[in-house]
Amino acid sequence: MTEGSTVPGAVATASESAESDGSNVAGATVEALTITARRRSETVQSVPLAVSVVGGDRLDGTGSFNVGRLQQLTPTLQFYSSNPRNTAVNIRGLGVPFGLTSDGFEQGVGIYVDDVYNSRVATATFDFLDVDRIEVLRGPQGTLYGKNTTAGAINITTRQPTFDFEANAEVSLGNLDYKQAKAAISGPLSDKLAARFAVSSTHRRGTIYNVTSRRYINEQDNLGLRGQLLFKPSEDLAVTLAADYSAQDPEGFAQIYVRTGATQRALNRQYAALTSALGYAVPSTNAFDRVTDVDAELNAGNKVGGASAKVAWNVAGGTLTSVTAWRFWDWKPQNDRDFLGLSIVAKSQNPSQQDQYSQELRFNRSWDSHDLVVGAFAFHQRIDTQGTEQQGVNASRWNINPSNALSNDPTVLAGLTALNTQWLKSTSFAVFGQLSWKVTDALTLTPGARLNYDEKSGFYERKVIDGQGVPVLLTDTGARRAAQLAVYTPQVSAPSFDDWNFTYDLSASYQLDRDVLAYATYAKSFKTGGINQNGLPTDAAGKPIEAAGAIKPEDINHFEGGLKTQWLDRTLTANLAVFRSDIKNYQATVSNGQLGVLRGYLANAGKVRTQGVELDSAYRPNARFSTYLNAAYTDAKYVRFVDAPCPPELSGGTVATGTQVPRAAGVAGALSPANCDVSGQRLPGVSKWSVALGAEANVPGDFLGKTGEFYVGYDGSYRSKFSSNPSPSIYTWVDGYTIANFRAGFRTPEGLNLYAWVRNAFDENYFEQLAVGPSNTGLIAGQPGDPRTWGVTLRAAF
């Protein structure tokens, strides 16, 4: 997709205007898009559900070519990615725990492409390819979709094969050596067989200069391919075969020095003293200079693809749909886990390979005053990971107490290597259904239910070898071995989990007027339990705590009410939603501050609550002007989490025991609490306020012998500050920021579009997220957001 473009009459996420050829200037209306959120075709305004919809033309028009860009249009969608694997996609603050990703639990936001569930969040980092529309469903989705999701779903529908020939092509050029090309072609192969093929390629130079490698890093290097065949022997039967492949191979994603903060570690073991002892200084203490000196190899090789067969058969007065799919994910990373030009962690990589298989059967039928959807879903995946983490020549001085003479011997830790082998098997089965009953012309009741079974089993083994290739064992003795075991500890674990869950929901909607729909929903939902797949916390003897192997399912009570309205002869659309979700046994990330021991694992927090208000609105008084405003207020907090990991300012000292009283935050050498009570504090990654605002105006005209219209457009987004650490820290609040995007060009009704665009026009300095450096030294690293980018795009349809 392009960095910036336009669509005729681009309007709110909740709805989108019909295209205009410049006629009927006074009679324009905001047309409600047709969606399939409830597995049947309906207009957005008739669905008693909080859903944001973005058409494919609007994705092109606003430069929203991936989920990260999509969040600028849908304020309650949050997207964070330190690399494709460590990606979080949340809605209303819920989805996956913020921080390092584990394969042993489920995501709370389901990602579907043409009805196929994508089980790993890494698949969300690719460019959208030949998309017709995207529906962002907010709130629990379990009685209609294949995989139960507690926070919502992103339902992506691609453009389908056609029996009429059509084609389009697009080329974009911009600064930072930006190049993007897209093309799609569709048409008949016979009177019963049609095909469609699409390709997209994106390249952009990195935004951060690495003085060590003398290269720009954190680049974009994406390729996407999709092919489809549609066999339609009759009006009652359609078979669609699809295959896709996407690849990324950038040198990235580095997180760079942002700041330091005082911890409770001994002063001579904090960042300033350690770097001074090693004679080291970062090339810049201002992250927005966009300079780093990371010295480890960087790579983010990411490949995703698969094949599917979808059969839709009109039978027994309804439609029977079968969706059979196989998908793969290959991840080949290389990271710099110390974030510096020092060789502390010399190598860090955890390549993974996943295969998933899914089968969904669904029957839809409508009659009289009833609509019915019933279905069954089966899913299986296996993930294999081979991890390597290795200490460098500066590791001894960085990790061993300076009072210990071994800290001056680089050979103690140099070459110390942890070799991790793990696999995960996950299987689930479900039956689900939803009935919509039109009690009167105005009142509709919609109950739904789901029965779900989940089973997970895993294996994790960490072997440790020293720099001479000799195995390091828990039974080894001596000061040298003790120093090595403090960094990497051998471990074997085989956690497992299985459980049944029954959930249900009930919605009531009432048509107050032709253009006013009120609705209310209650949902009893769950997110299945999981396992700690990346190793377990250990006891005093260094043995894994087996009880921590499995985590409990989340238990959710969700309440929602809303209004869907249109005014002023349907030139104004305004949809309002109010929600509250109470979650027991919230699955939270627990971080370990010790370098290389166990970076993070999952545990259950007592209770979490998220509540708020959302507005989606659009106004199109005539065919020459349109505007939209989408806004959300979200209050997401830990209600009860008394044994949470402590933030860095309360970590690093000797852990208090018994009646010992921990000292104040940031006091060097002080006693540190074993854990912290973060009850009442905000969930990570959630801004209280988020807004998307845009407008477009056009005038008719002629250009290069063509008749069409000139246009200008603006798309802006605002996010208030948010916490970037699972336990809020004074060092990891990300300040609020505003992004302003502009576009201007000329387009014709035949599909020719030439325009210039600029994103982040005012060159706002902002962070996408911040991270706490290892070992409680006080180092804070982060990812600066993109600087101002600009370019030009030419698009043509045939």
- The string of pLDDT tens digits covering residues 516-536 is 999 999 999 988 888 888 877
Cis peptide before 502 (omega within 30 of 0): no
Q: What is the mean pLDDT of the chain?
A: 89
Measure the N-to-C terminal CA separation of the chain; round to a whole number of Å.
18
pLDDT at 106: 84
Is 22 a residue whose pLDDT tops 50?
no
Q: 572 Cβ partners below 8 Å, 6+ apart? A: 30, 566, 617, 618, 619
Neighbours of 636 (CB within 10 A): 24
Strands 237-248 and 443-465, bridge-based pairing: unpaired
Task: Summarize pLDDT for 155-171 with one digit per residue, the tens.
Answer: 999 999 999 999 999 99
Residue 82 has pLDDT above 50, yes or no: yes
- Token digits of residue 678: 């973060």
Nearest Cα to 130, choosing from 171, 184, 169, 62? 184
Residue range of the domain that includes 308: 25-797
Q: What's the pLDDT band for 232 if we cut at 50, 70, 90?
A: very high
E strands, 36-165, are 42-43, 51-55, 77-81, 87-91, 109-113, 116-118, 131-138, 152-158
**Is residue 134 assigned to a domain?**
yes
Is 731 contained in some domain? yes
- Res. 8: pLDDT tops 50: no
Is 17 within a domain?
Answer: no
pLDDT of residue 698: 97
Both tokens of 335, joined, read 């990271």
CB atoms < 10 A from the CB of 47, how many?
Answer: 23
User: Regarding predicted confidence, which is higher, 55 or 286?
Assistant: 286
Classify residue 462 by burial, with Cβ atoms within 10 Å: 0-12, 13-18, 19+: buried
Residue 209 tokens read as 């200069």
**Is residue 495 included in any domain, yes or no?**
yes
Give mean pLDDT, residues 637-643.
92
Residue 2 has pLDDT above 60, yes or no: no
Model confidence pTM above 0.75: yes
In which band, very low, low, confident or very high, does the pLDDT at 657 lie, cut at 50, 70 and 90?
A: confident
- Written as six digits, the tokens of 365 are 């039928």
pLDDT band at 59 (very low <50, low <70, confident <90, very high): confident
541 domain-assigned: yes
Specify the CATH number for the domain of residue 544: 2.40.170.20
Q: Is 15 contained in some domain?
A: no
> Given this model, what pLDDT does residue 38 score?
73
> pLDDT category, 595, cuts 50, 70, 90?
very low
Residue 101 confidence (pLDDT) = 66
At 32 the pLDDT is 60
Per-residue pLDDT, 28: 54
> In this predicted structure, which of 30-39, 494-503, 754-763 has the lowest mean pLDDT?
30-39
Look at residue 18 and tell me if it is in a domain: no
DSSP secondary structure string, 657-724? -TT-----TT-TT--B-SSB--TTPBPTT--SEEEEEEEEEEEEEEETTEEEEEEEEEEEEEE--EE-
- Chain segment 129-147, per-residue pLDDT in tens: 899 988 999 988 878 878 8
Query: Measuring CA to CA, which residue among 758, 755, 721, 756 is closest to residue 738?
Result: 721
Total domain count for the chain?
A: 1
- Could you tell me the pLDDT band of residue 472, with boundaries at 50, 70 and 90? very high
Structure tokens at 704: 């290069």
CB–CB of 727/645 below 8 Å? yes
Is residue 35 a part of any domain in this protein?
Answer: yes
CB 718 within 8 A of CB 689: yes
